[in-house]
Structure 1
Amino acid sequence: MDDKFRPILGRGENYIFPDQNRPGAPITDRRPSYEEARNKLLSQIYTVKGKVKEIPPENRLDEVIFNMKMALGYTAKSYHPNNLIKQSGVKDVGSKKWQEKEVNNGKEKIRQGKSIFLRMSEDELVYLEHLLNQKSSELPKGFIDDIRIVEEFYIGDNNYLLNIFNKDWDGGRVEFVLHPFGNLEDVAEERFMDLFNKYGGNPNKVKIRSYSPGPTFISAYVERETLEHLVNFNPIRTVHPMVFRGVPEIRGSLTNLSLPKPPPEKTKSSVLVGVFDGGLKENSPYFKDFSKENYPIETEEIPDFIQHGTGVVGTILYGDLKEYGKEDTLETPFVNVESFRVLPPSDPNDVDLYEVIDVIEEVVPKRTDIKIYNLSIGPYGPIEDDYISRFTYVIDSLSQNGERLFTVAVGNDGDLEDDDSRRIQSPSDTVNGLGIGAYTFDLEQKIIRAPYSSTGEGREGAKVKPDIVEFGGCERNPFHLVGIDGSSRFFASGTSFAAPLVARKAAELMGRCNLVDPLVAKALIINSSIHPNMQFDRYLGYGATPNKVEDILGCDSNRVTVLYKQRILPKKYARLEIPIVKDLDYNGKVNIYWTIAFAAKPNPLNTEDYTTSGIEEYFYPNANQYKFTSPDRKHNYKRNLITQEDEVKELLNQNWKQSRFPITKSGTRYLNEQERRAEFKWDTIVKKGVSVQYKNLDSPFLVLHAMDRNIEEHLSDFFNYAVVVTVEYEKYQGDAYQSTISQYNKLEMAQVKNRNELFVK
């Protein structure tokens, strides 16, 4: 080891090649016969036809939402009842999961199923009944197969939606989500407003935002009695209370301790971070030359909001001020901030975040110069598995191609009494952004979760939440911020200040390294994070990132990090070669870590299939090591095609069967859909690692399998991904870094700028 800076290596995509498809999971058919399933469904349709007639006209449209509950275990895209839907002419408008506990040999297991929302008229319902009354020989096989996995067909009772509201909840702002209704969307909104007005709602306190052909989000203030009437409106998919308590509570106060001196240099950085928050004192010497305030919502300033926004912006510019004394002078910030003051809202008596979301939707696409945004504000309350907030959906939509990155505070309710209440808050459940929790230190200076930091898990597509943690302070070890008075320190703690530290690092990574874009920055941050227990959990996520960006962008003589950037088409396989140096005088362990980050298009209609894309990977330590199985299948051997060539020939002459692919350290068990979900296979982040003896490595590689959950094939498209691979020769004393460059000459040393190279006059 030495102090020489060795930059990470890029252009790893030069070592990505197409690969052969792998077989899918074996299928065990436990479905009932078609006749049995058909008779059950006909009986349910008869019941449903009576239920439709019982719905008051004010609570329905000409088309009605029905539920089709599919059998347990049949959640994969290949089991979606496409033929049933096509033949009957009904409209698929989304899905949600259902689950039940199964006990085998005293062990409890949760099995999941899918419930599909179907929109159809009474005539279409009659036609479905007509199809079922035909002879099976007259029906397509696909239709018959679909009927065999229908568990139940019914009209949902929306009264269960009230369960999320406390018994003492007597009124407040809520968010309704309406199913997509195509050319009847205007009618659905009009009928909703008719009901709203009829049962005492104030139409001036309603905001409707449509995402056709997706759902419609409606923010409304309602009394409980009004809500109890409205939930019976058939087009409603879900409803959720919305609470905004202003900015997250700042756990701290202004002190009489002086700030360090502001930077003497007025040179600005070329690197920008966008912040949506409560604003700041723009004329302060700490901000006026390094930030710009924008006023998309022109309202009167409120000190608490300004202090929060000042703390967030100051964190991005200067970090935690704890290390500075009052006689010290701050360095010129290496990032600049574009602050968008979105608080308070235009109507201070009607607080919701729709106006804030509207601003984000308008500003972000126009500001192509800003790639990193920080959000330390959001609605109060834990996320729900069957509910996607408009805020989360918008953030994920704006970053679905990896073109920008949002860092989002997970919330400060981690010290509440029960697990459900401690859960992370929207929009930190984003699948394309980073949900940031907070850590502090125990008495032995070890990293621990800050007690207030909200906990995971996240939703489908981002189960590991928080993604990572940053220092957020605590009562004993506070975060030092720029006070609103411009001269005093503000002592505080909160995830609000952990998140901008990550935004600062992401922006610096992009500004200083020519190979880093937002998606690569996300992968690098996750890859460099270290968990105290060396495994992810719902408290610290993947762990904490290094304090210095140089530690993320640098390698050592025996530790080499390589970047791969590529895009892939669903159903395709890619072979990603890992740059292991050959012929080293070394017999020790090699630790190989990889992080895969990809950007996914969100689907708010399917809460259990929210991410439309996924990547699963297989690790092969030796490209030439295969399994050979005897003709009677009782014996198998591992043999190397190169070093054991003669033995291989002899086995083949004896009719032994060679495996189709090399032996994988990931195992040879094929995963079904239930198992993929259990192992977070649909998460937009994959982080894993292995330790292998150097002598057992020979041209190792990863195989990436791109998966897709779009029901209609024409909707499938390429999606972007980034891979970071770190290879550590644990006790090697030579220069593996230089050897890697020599043997893999298509790799490129990253160009890493010094901080002062980021400044512009």
Structure 2
Amino acid sequence: MAEIESDALAPDSVYVMRFALHPAYIAKSYYPAQLLRQAELEAVGSRDRPIRPEAHVTKDWEEREFTTSELFVAGKKSSFERLSELLAAESALPPAFEEIREIEEISSLRVSEKVRPGTHPRNAYELVLHLPSARLAPHNRSEFLRLAEQFGVEVEQGLSLEVRGLWFVPAVGSESQIRELARYSTVRVARPMPALALAPIARSVQIPTRARLPRPEVVDPTARVAILDGGLPKDHSLAPWIETYREMNEGVANSAAYEAHGLAVASAFLFGPMRAGIQPPLPPAKISVIRVLDADSHNQDPFELYRTLAHVEEVLLSRNYDFINLSLGPALPVEDQDVHAWTSLIDDLLSDGETLLTVAVGNNGEMDAASGNARIQVPSDAVNALAIGSASSETGAWSRAPYSAIGPGRGPGRVKPDALAFGGVDAEPFYYLDAGASPVLVPGAGTSLAAPLALRRATEVRAMLGSQLSTLAIRALLLHSADDAGLPRAEVGWGNLPLDVDGIISAGDGVARIVYQGELRPGKYLRAQLPVPLGGFRGMVRVSATFCFASPIDTQSPDVYTRAGLEVVFRPDVTKFAKGAKTPKSRSFFSAAADEASLRNDEGKWETVLQATDRMNASTLGDPVFDVHYNARDQGDQSRETAPLKYALVITIEAPKMINLHQEILATYPDLLVPIQPQIELELPAS
């Protein structure tokens, strides 16, 4: 066991050490809860790390590197010393300490590992601190603030954020001052503050073209939509479709650059990609434009990132909106080791599943992929948000727009971007409204345009089908209808979204689409039935399914970030059992993994989106069901969670030999299935 660093600074004599689990013991059933309790220690977080164990039962283990969990453990110096003495003693370990065999390595976290490389012109940093219990370290925060003042580090405590066991603190100081402060034992990481990014819109050099606008109405006056961006210029043509306009930092001047960005994003939601001489369809809803960026944000404020996040937090906490777009965030590609304050706060506030938030993934896709600089940017790694990249064409053969950032996301949340929407390229720009009282079109491109276009699709579904569908069900429908065209998952996610709402909600001949939505309790099962028409299916049948759920999160444990997971078993016929079996026969549907590490890292059960398709003979489908089990965990340990989990499941059944499949299924289940009728008629663009 490594010794505590002698120069470490500790609140209440509490230190944080690292316990690396042996890779054979990373499943939650092996979590060393009893050991920690008996040793009077507290787990305050965890993360993945590579390791070469001294011994393993796996074949050829000597030549391999394994991924394991590294626990951050807080405790009094005396507690660690007692544990060290027990390990060094020649006598047998007390039974309560037997779980120590699951620990491969115990070490301290050096300052050089805490302070991340990089430069910042304003000497601005983000410091992230562990928060042991008040019983263990009651003076953790106050002692940190005292030391920061002593070392000459300016801390903006009013902008600090606490999210699920971590304290995110913005600060200004020299690198040497930050290194001194990083000796504080509960500091987990100190990294240069990234700049604020707007996923800039590349405007093409063309003569502006006169725009045709629809009549001043919307399809659904009840939908609540917010655009969080740089506000709007004084002169614009959007007034008939603006519900409210709000400036989060009142009394501060606008930034012309941010206003132009905000106008482009608002135009993309209201009218989609516009065309000269063509009148777009009615907007799906009015929008509330909320200015979260202003002249102060533009004037090199070292804390602009946290001030802006505070505005975003206030809007999300208000619960005033069902649909929100965010085409801004830190200029920072995601990393696997730690979760950023933007991501964790947004995920935490979206964990109730009530709000659909679209986020632009960033325009850094042409940067160096090997270094990670082309990877999606924070906060598009949020598992409870919809991360949107850009497709290169609206109507022709499409691919990922070259500038659109690539995945994967962190695990869980590996499939990122979630989807693509048209964002424009030089050869096929995205036209949107320019400033001025007279409406004119200008061409551009960027994921900042693709994200609000995806939100438009979601709001169109709400406008078309009404409020009987939850926002989670709408999200599931969007991802279910996305087409990946066989392109790499890291580039297109689940695929490119359909061009219009009809491609999301309609089912043609020989096709039936069923939507389940509701709540699950931890440890309980849901049996989702695949409806079978009277007389059964005929011919070959293709079944596609998409699960979506909103998950509580553990910010301090990126390796076990989602606290909820679904185990889904497909049973083609619940009346058929193998000899001696107590449960009906199952068939592989969603990809299964052999061990906990694979489940964590390979789109396993802790992902918030599950999607798969299978083709089978009708004769195998007697009474088919999906059996769904909700698992809950807390920092990788068993959870006492009792709150329900909101979910949505979309199933599409295709039987080409049964043209009237949809009607036959409804006739077979008149009291079970409720047809969702369109609330409006589609309005086609005027020519």
Cα 1:706–1:319 change in 2 (3 A) is same
Letter of the structure 2 residue corresponding to residue 703 of structure 1: D
Instruction: Point out where structure 2 has 5 or more consecutive residues left out of the alignment.
Output: none
Within 5 Å, which residues of 2 pair with 1:105-504?
111-129=66-84, 139-140=94-95, 143-162=96-115, 164-166=116-118, 172-183=123-134, 187-203=139-155, 208-211=159-162, 214-253=165-204, 255-266=206-217, 269-281=221-233, 284-298=236-250, 299-322=252-275, 324-325=276-277, 328-344=278-294, 346=296, 348-351=299-302, 352-368=304-320, 370-419=321-370, 420-441=372-393, 445-486=396-437, 487-504=439-456
Cα 1:317–1:187 change in 2 (3 A) is same
**Aligned: 1:747 with 2:673:** yes
Letter of the structure 2 residue corresponding to residue 719 of structure 1: L
- Within the candidate set 586, 594, 597, 1:674 is matched to 597
Give the secondary-structure state (helix, strand or coil) at the position aligned to 1:437.
strand
Cα 1:716–1:85 change in 2 (3 A) is farther
Letter of the structure 2 residue corresponding to residue 113 of structure 1: T
Q: Is the 8 A contact 1:449 1:540 kept in 2?
A: yes
Give the secondary-structure state (helix, strand or coil) at the position aligned to 1:99.
strand
How far off its partner does 1:522 sit?
A: 0.9
How far off its partner does 1:136 sit?
A: 7.9
C-alpha distance in 2 between matches for 1:176 and 1:527? 39
Q: How many residues align?
A: 667
After the TM superposition, which of the residue ranges 457-466 and 223-232 deviates more from structure 2? 223-232
Cα 1:136–1:485 change in 2 (3 A) is farther
Q: Is the 8 A contact 1:207 1:218 kept in 2?
A: no
CA RMSD of aligned residues (A): 2.9
C-alpha distance in 2 between matches for 1:159 and 1:106? 30
Q: TM-score, normalised by structure 2?
A: 0.90
C-alpha distance in 2 between matches for 1:683 and 1:96? 17
Q: Is the 8 A contact 2:164 2:554 kept in 1?
A: no
How far off its partner does 1:285 sit?
A: 3.1
After the TM superposition, which of the residue ranges 98-107 and 109-118 deviates more from structure 2? 98-107
Cα 1:503–1:199 change in 2 (3 A) is same
Q: Is the 8 A contact 1:214 1:604 kept in 2?
A: yes
How far off its partner does 1:364 sit?
A: 2.2
**Aligned: 1:605 with 2:556:** yes
Give the secondary-structure state (helix, strand or coil) at the position aligned to 1:740.
helix
Letter of the structure 2 residue corresponding to residue 287 of structure 1: A
Letter of the structure 1 residue corresponding to residue 647 of structure 2: Y
How far off its partner does 1:82 sit?
A: 0.4
For 2:498, the equivalent position in structure 1 comes to: 546
For 1:728, the equivalent position in structure 2 comes to: 654
- Within the candidate set 709, 721, 727, 2:633 is matched to 709
**Aligned: 1:555 with 2:507:** yes
C-alpha distance in 2 between matches for 1:108 and 1:688? 34
C-alpha distance in 2 between matches for 1:489 and 1:668? 46
How far off its partner does 1:626 sit?
A: 3.8
**Aligned: 1:520 with 2:466:** no
How far off its partner does 1:500 sit?
A: 0.3
How far off its partner does 1:283 sit?
A: 5.4
Give the secondary-structure state (helix, strand or coil) at the position aligned to 2:67.
strand
For 1:532, the equivalent position in structure 2 comes to: 485
C-alpha distance in 1 between matches for 2:681 and 2:285? 9
For 1:662, the equivalent position in structure 2 comes to: 585
C-alpha distance in 1 between matches for 2:292 and 2:356? 19
How far off its partner does 1:251 sit?
A: 0.9
How far off its partner does 1:358 sit?
A: 1.1
For 1:623, the equivalent position in structure 2 comes to: 574
How far off its partner does 1:148 sit?
A: 1.0
Structure number with larger C-alpha Rg: 1
How far off its partner does 1:89 sit?
A: 1.7
C-alpha distance in 2 between matches for 1:110 and 1:720? 37
Q: Is the 8 A contact 1:273 1:373 kept in 2?
A: yes
C-alpha distance in 2 between matches for 1:458 and 1:476? 29
Aligned-pair identity (%): 25
How far off its partner does 1:313 sit?
A: 0.6
How far off its partner does 1:391 sit?
A: 0.9
Q: Deviations over 1:484-540 (max 9, x none)?
A: 23433221111101000111111222233243111111111111111111x761000
Letter of the structure 1 residue corresponding to residue 343 of structure 2: T
How far off its partner does 1:733 sit?
A: 4.9
Q: Is the 8 A contact 2:369 2:375 kept in 1?
A: no
How far off its partner does 1:732 sit?
A: 1.6
C-alpha distance in 2 between matches for 1:510 and 1:394? 26
How far off its partner does 1:105 sit?
A: 6.7
Cα 1:144–1:64 change in 2 (3 A) is closer
For 1:98, the equivalent position in structure 2 comes to: 49
Give the secondary-structure state (helix, strand or coil) at the position aligned to 1:448.
coil
Q: Deviations over 1:567-614 (max 9, x none)?
A: 22223332221113242583x211100000011001101010110011
- Within the candidate set 733, 738, 744, 2:663 is matched to 738
Q: TM-score, normalised by structure 1?
A: 0.82
Q: Deviations over 1:63-102 (max 9, x none)?
A: 1111111111322211111001111221111111112479
Cα 1:283–1:755 change in 2 (3 A) is farther
Give the secondary-structure state (helix, strand or coil) at the position aligned to 2:141.
helix
C-alpha distance in 2 between matches for 1:395 and 1:498? 20
Give the secondary-structure state (helix, strand or coil) at the position aligned to 2:628.
strand
Instruction: Point out where structure 1 has 5 or more consecutive residues left out of the alignment.
Output: 1-43, 629-656
